[in-house]
Chain A
């Protein structure tokens, strides 16, 4: 080591160090290198990205236009391009693809992935655009990613860089990044710094936000469908097959997905779960081999699956462990909510355990001859039941064509309770709204002094309103189980106190608190006021004894207040049991969801008795919402509010 060669070695090392440390300036710094890397990464995919133009579209009213220019990616040499379903033409005259030589070709949609909001386009003419490479690169949370799109006018490449924030978002189907994307990126590529194709950027918003998919543009929360998922479905789509989410049909007790329980409250009739023999009361242990602790976890695992794949679900039923092999379905027949025409209450049994007791029957109840008031319900469909919510869900979801078995404990002359088993047929829920209501639903109690009108004042909302409610004084008796009817006023209808006046008598007589809310802006309701009604309900429920199954939202008129009421009722499941609007209301531009049996909504369309339900209600009925067309008068509306708890 002390030879001449050793010294040469050291001299070289020293020189190398000095050379490398001498030239550091802005050009070598990290940001400049990053720019070089980003440009070269974009170059790997940009030639596969074409512009998409739409012509002749009817707008649906979001901030981002329905015919906003977007992009698409070539995925093979057979003129196929993948794009976001934003290009789905409702009534558009045409979809046109434009390459970088400004050559244009019309394109048609040959398949839709309804689950991931993607479409496969086939160009009529050859555009000679190289397809993107599917290479299955490894993903790492926190890695730098680049979104690549094209600007509409001249097709210049558009880039946005960020990190990979998460995988398996939107119930298992999307990557999340903090890159800023807007319409010029929808249908474009997400790549890593090596330019490898990670996914297709789509407009999306989590489904419980009730907003249009493009509402979060440039927000720094952006989603992309992973290339690995597309690689699995592309062969089917090229053949023209649509892709749909795989459905199972199990219902959780509450729509609070964080509750740590996997107990199944009900099973949708004619669903894969029903066919596999899954029953209410079963607890899910694992899905597809993964242990689960909550319904949210179940939803997350199933969320990524398409029909018609099979999945193994392990259940616990009593002491038994069962394995069920389920074939997920594309669709489950729409709900036709069912009813027994009874009301139930919850009482403490002899041993202190809560029990369900029948408290009343409607005058058309299908079980009038076999079930009596005061019967205790011990089991339904073979499964024990002791809480109202689960019982309601099981009846709601009963198969209208099959009899339902119910086990009762009936008091007899000697004071003992004897077990009675009956088989009953349910009828449609909409048919058990009767006149008169059973006594158990009518308002009892209260000193019947005319209720007063007070100003609605919540510190953190700007809306004005008025509340018609009983005076609460020490020693006063307002009875139990008040209903709550929230009515949204059209902009410019005048002071809420005046609008509330005609409701005083009806409210007092029927025991329904009426709350009128006006929009914060006297000219219009704004989308972000959709949570105001729920906050008002929570505040009123603190002051008065409101029965939370008797809470209804509606509107005073048929204008913007009605559209807002529909948006609230449908967009915020679980907050309201009923929605009551006039038939000539205009439904708002919101994303329609299925009626959720763990937080179901009934609808009343206020119209003349001999009129027909308006056409927009057909879509809602197919989505499982029970709809009644009934009297335009406050008396009927009040009666309907009080009828909400019927099962």
Chain B
């Protein structure tokens, strides 16, 4: 019996180096180094107390760098590579709706990162590599943070809550990504594939908190590929206010609200015009308008602004509170 156990013990010890594999350097360490090698520090325009630097990462062997489109790029930026080389950057393309800019430097055979085609999953481990606070200069490697994907959600549903033209899926990160100079940094997964780019500092206006998030590589990939290949892109027009005659208003719906006397008056219905679309849809006095479509209405001004962006020919979906019940109403013009 003892003889058997001794053999098992010897076998176990012999196989330990095999278990550890080719671990002269741990897996995580090599991913960190490879990512840092492709990370760059970008210096440009500052002013009015805002930092004049941000981060970026190489996406092609020919020197194309992905970064955020921001005030830092108001002048042609200087790019410092991981090995300390200072190169002049030229902005070769940008996509404002994706908050994306591509800078090119004149160098080749540079290490670059592959971009993921899929969204990562919640709780997936990630590393964020950026030059937050401008800590790294010259040939110092960019800083690394470890964390995971905290949530996969969309900025779309909360229009007006975030001051950004981007309205697609984002990854909220369980690490403090929101730091000066970190924007444009890269988020890589456990295999070293870029799954996101750290976004510009963004405040969630409804909660009052700074968001730790990244724009997904899967969304940026087509635009990056087009810019690198020199193809021009069709950009979608941004939604904004329609001319007064073309948009909805309280008049087109037939609603009157309680007097707007507080700083943020809730949108209580005071009266409904007879035979109006709102009357036909059975909106009643004292209804509290909670939402229009998917957008929360927390005061009358939000409601007015939102109505100005809706085409008056379209139906309007309201969610109201009537006493203690929640009622959905569709107003057909």
Using a CB–CB cutoff of 8 Å, the interface residues on chain A facing chain B are 1, 10, 13-14, 17-18, 20-22, 24-26, 29, 31-32, 34-36, 38-39, 42, 53, 55-56, 58, 62-65, 67-69, 93-94, 96, 104-106, 108, 124-125, 151-154, 156-161, 179-180, 182-184, 217-218
Contact = CB atoms under 8 A, between A and B. Distances in A.
Interface string B9-52: 00110010011110000011000000000000000000000000
Contacts of A217: 209
B176 interface: yes
Contacts of A152: 158, 206-207
Nearest to B26: A29
B326 interface: yes
11 contacts: A13-B8, A17-B15, A55-B321, A104-B326, A106-B321, A151-B172, A153-B161, A160-B150, A180-B176, A180-B212, A183-B209
Nearest to A39: B123
B124 interface: yes
B4 A1 contact: yes
Most buried by B among A32, A64, A151: A151
Given A14-B11, A218-B212, 8 more contacts: A1-B4, A35-B121, A55-B290, A65-B208, A105-B326, A153-B161, A179-B174, A218-B209
Nearest to A155: B153
B48 to A, nearest CB: 15
Contacts of A38: 123, 148
B85 interface: no
Contacts of B152: 156
Interface in B278-313: 288, 290, 294, 296, 298-299
Contact residues on B (Cβ < 8 Å of other chain), bracket: 35 or more
Contacts of A34: 123, 125
A21 B15 contact: yes
Contact of A17 (B12, B122, B208): B12
A64 B207 contact: yes
Given A1-B3, A21-B15, A65-B206, A124 B288 contact: no
Contacts of B191: 26
Contacts of A24: 19-21
Contact of A160 (B21, B174, B206): B174
A25 B30 CA distance: 13
A55 B298 contact: yes
Nearest to B262: A58
B94 to A, nearest CB: 27
Nearest to B296: A53
B176 A218 contact: yes
B324 A124 contact: yes
B326 A96 contact: yes
Nearest to B1: A1
Nearest to A6: B4
B238 interface: no
B141 interface: no
B154 A153 contact: yes
Contact of B27 (A29, A62, A67): A29
Contacts of B264: 56, 58
Contact of A63 (B125, B209, B266, B290): B209
Interface string B167-194: 0000010111000000000000011000
B298 A218 contact: no
A159 B324 contact: no
B75 interface: no
B7 interface: yes
Name the residue among B150, B154, B175, B262 with the largest chain A CB count within 10 angstroms: B150
Contact of A35 (B8, B125, B288): B125
B172 A158 contact: yes
Contacts of A184: 207
Contact of A104 (B154, B207, B299, B319): B319
Contacts of B136: none
Contact of A156 (B27, B151, B262): B151
B34 to A, nearest CB: 13
A40 to B, nearest CB: 9
Nearest to A103: B326
B275 interface: no
A106 B174 contact: no
A65 B158 CA distance: 16
